[in-house]
């Protein structure tokens, strides 16, 4: 792939779905999702969500799962303002 370093981390399609959900949820709600939010969205059991969160954290894709504050690695704090249309249109 062009522009991707050989040391770039790769993830499975399912991990990508979880990462996308966590990222978009955080942008929309200005806080990361709880494991219960992820469970409800993906319609899976609590142990399944927890295992995926642990796996993503160990792989370095998310930060703070042990503190129950989930942040997609490299995207900045969860309080990053959501960009929208400018008020001066």
19-66 confidence digits (pLDDT tens): 999 999 999 999 999 999 999 999 999 999 999 999 999 999 988 766
Strand, coil or helix: what is 71? strand
Alpha helices in the chain (DSSP H): 13-29, 35-42, 46-58
- Domains of the chain plus CATH, in order, are 13-72 (1.10.10.10)
Closest to 40 in 3D by CA, of 23, 21, 24? 21
Closest to 47 in 3D by CA, of 36, 57, 58, 63? 36
**Is residue 22 within 8 Å of 31, Cβ to Cβ?**
no
1-24 confidence digits (pLDDT tens): 455 555 577 999 999 999 999 999
**Alpha carbon distance, N-terminus to C-terminus of the chain:** 39
């Amino acid at each position: 792939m062009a522009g991707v370093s050989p040391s770039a981390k790769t993830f499975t399609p399912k991990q990508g779905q979880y990462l996308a959900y966590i990222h978009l949820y955080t942008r929309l709600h200005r806080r990361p999702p709880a494991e219960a939010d992820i469970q409800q969205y993906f319609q899976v059991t609590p142990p399944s969500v927890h295992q995926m969160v642990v796996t993503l954290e160990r792989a370095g894709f998310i930060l703070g799962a042990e503190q129950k504050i989930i942040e997609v690695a490299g995207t900045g704090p969860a309080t990053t303002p959501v960009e929208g249309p400018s008020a001066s249109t």
